[in-house]
């Protein structure tokens, strides 16, 4: 029996991670690929940086005591795109580019016209489950002919072996790959091609065995969702097939981001050797129930996607609860550490106390090893690590910044009156009288171009080349320019342009107590782009107004209304690392109170319209349908709490973008904003039909043109968009605005596009 032979030859392991970051502790890969794209450096330079990063990553894991090292977790751009390459599934439009790497980058980012060939449109990008990482969405058309191309994984395996490491190749599994792909050109759902693709994975297993791989990790995070029919059934079939391959490495099927439940039982019934589970998101109960008594269970007890130090005693107790129910056990992080910063080393600016509460990737790798040793030999041998962890935990639990009476009392007194405004028709009447706006009122979403001058000013403030006063002077000059531009174009409701905000969540986090920023806590968001999420560690207090001066200044320059511009509680949570010691709903309400206080101050300073953006409303939506209602309930409450403190005459706007809204459409209505601006240009106003379908009666501004492209829409195009919108929504409820903020565009593009938008609005009026 080949299966038994494989099991015997596959060496056991005790400590691992499902994957690691690849961008480099100092974002070396970002610089290298961007240099390559810009033509500043050559291929060899890029490949050298990449090889160095892979080597460092392997060595760091080995040095930490990780005894099964994942490989093929490197990526020049994205692991789903790498999988598309491995399966021969790049879109045909990239085929004319003969160079492998350039073809790959063209699929990711688009490519210019060259050698008489057309320019190449990039693949779409979307969020990786409920994380802030974005993957490239493969396109599967009727003509996609899958073919195995194992070049990358074999090269990384050989490279590791040459370095003395028998790596465990990691690939995304067939079910997850197809479930995350998109059918194009009338093709059937990609999952209908599962058998074909599984045959390639069977070939891959043979190739890997031949090349000396003892283990392979196949990632199937889709199994923690209910994104497709009968995932457990499919998992059972696919892994029965793959585990029946005669010559192959031992197989670890890895799940993460949730509880795979029935799929675990389905995998238990196959001959795969190991199953990886996320025991931070899910409990050990499913593992026990699944009957994994003859499998290796890779137990993800260290949180791979948040920054807190692990309660090692609690994690060890979880591991102990599995003893006897599993064949053997290896300790791991709950998911790849690509979702957290590299290391605390170098975070010298952090408050020492706070620093002690944290574990970034390299510290998490140490925690995994301490737990593996504790599980094998008892806590005593590891008491130093365990004691330090409990001391850190006690320090965190006892810190006064986590329990501020004024915040707690306010939360305790919360009642529905705090998040309920009088009915929207009543509000509408007083707002119309106060604002006196035309039908089809024109406005923008908030940001205007982040010009070189703005960036230079920010840089100069950071280095101390200019002081606060000079910085404020320069930002005011930008605001004055943006107000003048809007007046010239003839918009009805103006904004200040957000020049002072580089990243909006960071901007508010910097001004609120309860958050802190890292010096180097970068996390890959997509491709070469990284973000540095703030860490929300304590009770949230707004000690002073955050935006009032900027808005009031803009208002002083014009007779038209200027919208106050704030970010909503759900979005602030979604783009931060959040505390894990209380329900997210409570944290959201604390942030909501801070935003509410700001709306009240804005109103007092004369703002008649205030926008509270919630672009990330859809992002935190739970992966299992059954959990969604509860999430949406607290998300809606937090938003309403943040906006219900103003008078009826003050008009509340919100803005939503970046997503398919189908699943949250009811929640959008429940937000009860007076005006909702929403991305729609690319989805052709479908969202309006959906809103009508649930009887939404407030005002709405579907984006009439796409701001993601530098292309300036002609007035006629905007007119067509508007007429399309008018077919769904009457003029007295319809606003005219772009899809999203304008910060990524140039001033010239913006001036021209907005002029055309206003022309179209006037024509239709």
Instruction: Please report how close the Cβ of residue 740 comes to ligand GLN at its closest, in angstroms.
Output: 5
Instruction: Please report how close the Cβ of residue 402 comes to ligand GLN at its closest, in angstroms.
Output: 30
Instruction: Please report how close the Cβ of residue 125 comes to Zn ion at its closest, in angstroms.
Output: 15
Q: Which residues are annotated as a binding site for 5-methyltetrahydropteroyltri-L-glutamate?
A: 27-30, 127, 132, 529-530, 575, 619
C-beta closer to Zn ion: residue 521 or 615:
615
- Per-residue CA distances from 671 to 51, 425, 511, 641, 695 (Å): 49, 15, 25, 10, 14
**Between residue 636 and residue 655, which ones bind ligand GLN under the rule CB under 6 A?**
655
Which residue's structure tokens are 């060890």? 316
DSSP code of residue 650: S
Q: Residue 444's closest CA among 761, 77, 229, 191?
A: 761
Token pair belonging to 579: 């505390």
Edge-to-edge strands, sheet with 215-219: 70-71, 168-172, 215-219, 250-254, 274-278, 296-302, 328-333
Does 743 sit near ligand GLN (CB under 6 A)? Answer: yes
From 414-422, 470-478, 490-498, 607-615, give the range in contact with Zn ion by CB under 5 A. Answer: 607-615
C-beta closer to ligand GLN: residue 198 or 445:
445
Are 489 and 754 contacting, i.e. CB atoms less than 8 angstroms apart?
A: yes
Of the candidates 183, 213, 657, 691, which one interacts with Zn ion according to CB under 5 A? Answer: 657
Token pair belonging to 584: 């997210």
- Kindly tell me the sign of the dihedral angle through the C-alpha atoms of 429, 435, 440, 444: negative
C-beta closer to ligand GLN: residue 374 or 449:
449
From 135-143, 270-278, 330-338, 739-747, give the range in contact with ligand GLN by CB under 6 A. Answer: 739-747
From 140-148, 223-231, 248-256, 737-745, give the range in contact with ligand GLN by CB under 6 A. Answer: 737-745
**Distance of alpha carbon 89 from alpha carbon 95, whole angstroms:** 11
Of the candidates 523, 700, 740, 753, which one interacts with Zn ion according to CB under 5 A? Answer: 740
From 119-127, 308-316, 583-591, 736-744, give the range in contact with ligand GLN by CB under 6 A. Answer: 736-744
- Per-residue CA distances from 579 to 124, 154, 537, 568, 730 (Å): 32, 40, 5, 18, 44
743 binds, among Zn ion, ligand GLN, none (CB under 5 to 8 A by kind): ligand GLN
β pairing state of 328-333 and 512-516: unpaired
Does 740 sit near ligand GLN (CB under 6 A)? Answer: yes
Which positions from 441 to 480 touch ligand GLN by CB under 6 A, shown as an x/- string?
----xxx---------------------------------
**Between residue 243 and residue 302, which ones bind ligand GLN under the rule CB under 6 A?**
none
Instruction: Please report how close the Cβ of residue 166 comes to ligand GLN at its closest, in angstroms.
Output: 45
How would DSSP label each residue in 9-72?
HSPP-SB--S----S-TT-HHHHHHHHHHTTSS-HHHHHHHHHHHHHHHHHHHHHHT-SS-EES
Are 673 and 419 contacting, i.e. CB atoms less than 8 angstroms apart?
A: no
Which positions from 529 to 568 touch ligand GLN by CB under 6 A, shown as an x/- string?
------------------------------------x---
492 three-class SS: coil
Which positions from 611 to 650 touch Zn ion by CB under 5 A, shown as an x/- string?
----x-----------------------------------
Of the candidates 250, 610, 657, 728, which one interacts with ligand GLN according to CB under 6 A? Answer: 657
Instruction: Please report how close the Cβ of residue 449 comes to ligand GLN at its closest, in angstroms.
Output: 11
Q: Residue 721's closest CA among 752, 680, 751?
A: 680
**Distance of alpha carbon 542 from alpha carbon 222, whole angstroms:** 40
Token pair belonging to 441: 């009122």
**Between residue 491 and residue 520, which ones bind ligand GLN under the rule CB under 6 A?**
498
Query: Which residues pair with residue 275 across a beta bridge?
Result: 253, 297
**Distance of alpha carbon 704 from alpha carbon 219, whole angstroms:** 40
The long-range contacts involving 381-387, CB below 8 angstroms and separated by at least 24 positions, are: 382/312, 385/312, 386/312, 386/313, 386/316
- Per-residue CA distances from 390 to 147, 213, 309, 344, 703 (Å): 51, 39, 9, 19, 51
**Distance of alpha carbon 572 from alpha carbon 588, whole angstroms:** 9
Token pair belonging to 257: 């981001």
- The H or E element containing residue 395 is helix 383-397
613 binds, among Zn ion, ligand GLN, none (CB under 5 to 8 A by kind): ligand GLN
**Between residue 226 and residue 245, which ones bind ligand GLN under the rule CB under 6 A?**
none
Q: Which residues are annotated as a binding site for L-methionine?
A: 445-447, 498, 613
**Between residue 300 and residue 339, which ones bind ligand GLN under the rule CB under 6 A?**
none
Q: Which residues are annotated as a binding site for Zn(2+)?
A: 655, 657, 670, 679, 740
C-beta closer to ligand GLN: residue 357 or 661:
661
671 binds, among ligand GLN, Zn ion, none (CB under 5 to 8 A by kind): none
Instruction: Please report how close the Cβ of residue 90 comes to ligand GLN at its closest, in angstroms.
Output: 30
Instruction: Please report how close the Cβ of residue 501 comes to ligand GLN at its closest, in angstroms.
Output: 8
Of the candidates 741, 754, 758, 761, which one interacts with ligand GLN according to CB under 6 A? Answer: 741
DSSP code of residue 310: P
Of the candidates 613, 619, 670, 674, which one interacts with ligand GLN according to CB under 6 A? Answer: 613
Active-site positions read 708
Token pair belonging to 212: 């000396």
Residue nearest to ligand GLN (CB): 741
Count of residues engaged in binding Zn ion, rule: CB under 5 A: 3
Instruction: Please report how close the Cβ of residue 659 comes to Zn ion at its closest, in angstroms.
Output: 10
Q: Mark 421-458 as b/e (b = at least 16 C-beta within 10 Å).
A: beebeebbeebeebbebeebbbbbbbbbbbbeebeebb
Instruction: Please report how close the Cβ of residue 134 comes to Zn ion at its closest, in angstroms.
Output: 15
C-beta closer to ligand GLN: residue 446 or 521:
446
Does 208 sit near ligand GLN (CB under 6 A)? Answer: no
**Which residues contact Zn ion (rule: CB under 5 A)?**
615, 657, 740
**Which residues contact ligand GLN (rule: CB under 6 A)?**
445-447, 498, 565, 613, 615, 655, 657, 740-741, 743
């Amino acid at each position: 029996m080949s299966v038994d032979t494989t099991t015997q030859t596959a060496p056991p392991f005790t400590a691992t991670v499902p994957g690691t970051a690849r961008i480099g502790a100092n974002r070396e890969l970002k610089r290298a690929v961007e240099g390559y794209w810009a033509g500043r450096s050559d291929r060899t330079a890029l490949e050298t940086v990449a090889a160095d990063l892979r080597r460092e990553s392997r060595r760091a894991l080995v040095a930490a005591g990780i005894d099964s090292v994942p490989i093929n977790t490197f990526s020049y751009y994205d692991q789903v795109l790498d999988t598309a390459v491995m399966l021969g599934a790049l879109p045909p439009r990239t085929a004319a580019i003969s160079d492998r790497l350039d073809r790959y980058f063209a699929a990711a980012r688009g490519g210019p016209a060259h050698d008489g060939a057309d320019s190449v449109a990039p693949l779409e990008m979307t969020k990786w489950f409920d994380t802030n990482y974005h993957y490239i969405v493969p396109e599967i058309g009727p003509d996609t002919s899958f073919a195995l191309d194992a070049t990358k994984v074999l090269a990384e395996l050989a490279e590791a072996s040459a370095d003395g490491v028998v790596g465990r190749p990691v690939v995304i599994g067939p079910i997850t790959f197809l479930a995350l792909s998109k059918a194009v050109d009338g093709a059937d759902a990609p999952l209908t091609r599962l058998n074909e693709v599984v045959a390639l994975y069977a070939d891959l297993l043979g190739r890997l065995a031949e090349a000396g791989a003892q283990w392979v990790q196949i990632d199937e995070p889709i199994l923690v969702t209910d994104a497709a029919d009968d995932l457990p059934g499919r998992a059972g079939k696919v892994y029965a097939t793959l585990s029946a391959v005669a010559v192959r490495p031992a197989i670890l099927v890895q799940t993460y981001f949730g509880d795979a439940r029935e799929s675990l039982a389905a995998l238990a019934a196959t001959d795969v050797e190991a199953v990886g589970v996320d025991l931070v998101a899910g409990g050990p109960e499913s593992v026990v129930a699944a009957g994994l008594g003859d499998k290796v269970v890779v137990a993800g007890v260290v949180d791979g996607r948040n920054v807190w130090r692990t309660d090692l005693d609690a994690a060890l107790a979880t591991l102990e609860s599995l003893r006897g129910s599993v064949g053997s056990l290896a300790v791991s992080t709950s998911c790849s550490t690509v979702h957290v910063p590299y290391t605390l080393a170098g975070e010298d600016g952090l408050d020492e106390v706070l620093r002690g509460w944290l574990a970034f990737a390299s510290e998490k790798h140490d925690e995994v090893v301490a737990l593996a040793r504790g599980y094998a030999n008892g806590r005593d041998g590891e008491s130093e690590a365990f004691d330090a962890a409990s001391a850190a935990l006690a320090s965190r639990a006892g810190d006064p910044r986590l329990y501020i009476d004024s915040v707690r009392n306010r939360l305790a007194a919360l009642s529905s009156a705090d998040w309920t405004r009088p009915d929207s028709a009543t509000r509408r009447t007083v707002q119309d009288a106060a604002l006196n706006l035309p039908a089809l009122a024109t406005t923008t979403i908030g940001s205007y171009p982040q010009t070189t001058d703005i960036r230079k000013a920010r840089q100069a403030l950071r280095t101390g080349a200019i002081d606060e006063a000079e910085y404020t002077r320069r930002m005011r000059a930008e605001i004055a320019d943006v107000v003048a531009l809007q007046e010239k174009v003839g918009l009805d409701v103006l904004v200040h342009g957000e020049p002072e905000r580089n990243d909006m969540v960071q901007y508010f986090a910097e001004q609120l107590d309860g958050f802190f920023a890292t010096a180097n806590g970068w996390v890959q968001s997509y491709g070469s782009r990284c973000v540095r999420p703030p860490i929300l560690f304590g009770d949230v207090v707004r000690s002073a107004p955050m935006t009032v001066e900027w808005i009031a200044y803009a208002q002083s320059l014009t007779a038209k209304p200027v919208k106050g511009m704030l970010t909503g509680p759900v979005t602030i949570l979604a783009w931060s690392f959040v505390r894990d010691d209380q329900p997210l709903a409570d944290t959201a309400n604390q942030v909501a109170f801070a935003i509410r206080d700001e709306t009240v101050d804005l109103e007092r300073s004369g703002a008649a319209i205030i926008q509270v953006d919630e672009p990330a409303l859809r992002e935190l939506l739970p992966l299992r349908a059954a959990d969604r209602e509860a999430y949406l309930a607290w998300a809606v409450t937090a938003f309403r709490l943040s906006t219900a403190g103003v008078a009826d005459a003050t008009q509340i706007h919100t803005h939503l973008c970046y997503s398919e809204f189908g699943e949250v459409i009811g929640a959008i209505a429940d937000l009860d904003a007076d005006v909702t601006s929403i991305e729609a240009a690319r989805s052709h106003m479908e969202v309006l039909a959906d809103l009508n379908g649930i009887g939404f009666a407030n005002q709405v501004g579907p984006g009439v043109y796409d701001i993601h492209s530098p292309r300036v829409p002609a007035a006629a195009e905007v007119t067509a968009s508007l007429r399309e919108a008018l077919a769904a929504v009457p003029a007295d409820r319809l606003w005219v605005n772009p899809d999203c903020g304008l910060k990524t565009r140039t001033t010239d593009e913006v001036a021209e596009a907005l002029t055309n938008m206003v022309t179209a609005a006037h024509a239709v009026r």
